[in-house]
Amino acid sequence: MPKQIKKRELKKGEKPAALLTVAAMCAGLVFAVLFIIMIPDIDSASEQAQSVKAILAAAGYVVFVAVSTAAMIASLIAYKKSKQMGDAMRGFFSGVSIFAALLSIRFMLALFFAGLDKQDTVEKIIGSGSYSSFIKNQAPSFACLVIALSVMLFTGISAIVKLAKR
């Protein structure tokens, strides 16, 4: 009869860190869905639909960054207690995701204030040029958002695996 290998119990702080990482992944997925739903209406004539979608997308962005920050802090605290490299890597990759998301903050602020119909603020954020040309020139910002969401997706999957193994 084969011997049963005992699984290491999660130390204090590891489970909350993993759960926060999964929550950050879910927040990233919700943000991505809101953002994808909003993209076709970004230059539409329907002001009401554009405003609501822009505000929802910006709120999703804020929630994503906030939960990712909490997950990073919790993962680094869990690493300090458990000395498990998985916790350190989840904290590091959460930080990378936050950094990549923050690179697109100018775009998200312009989107949010455009949704609120605060044209003076939007003009201050985008500088000279039109809002439409600003949106069209946001390929690096979109790339940063995709990188942030992708990194958080893989980090969340690693947290799910950790929780499932225990």
Tokens 């910002």 correspond to: 141
Which pLDDT belongs to residue 18?
81
Report d(CA 15, CA 9) in Å as an integer: 10
Rounded Cα–Cα distance for residues 65 and 62 (Å): 5
Better-predicted residue by pLDDT, 127 or 102? 102
pLDDT tens by residue, 6-60: 666 766 777 888 888 889 889 988 888 887 777 665 555 556 667 777 788 888 8
Give the model confidence (pLDDT) of 69-108 as tens digits.
Answer: 998 898 888 888 888 787 888 888 888 888 888 888 888 8
Three-class DSSP category at 148: helix
The pLDDT of residue 7: 66
Interatomic CA distance for residues 70 and 114, integer angstroms: 28
Cα 30 from chain centroid (whole Å):
9
Burial of 20 (0-12, 13-18, 19+ CB in 10 A): buried
- Sequence ranges of the domains in the chain: 14-165
113 close to 125: Cβ distance less than 8 angstroms? yes
pLDDT score of 90: 85
Q: What pLDDT is stored for residue 41 in this prediction?
A: 58
pLDDT tier for residue 66 given thresholds of 50, 70 and 90:
very high
CA 5 to centroid of chain Cα atoms: 37
pTM for the model stands at 0.79
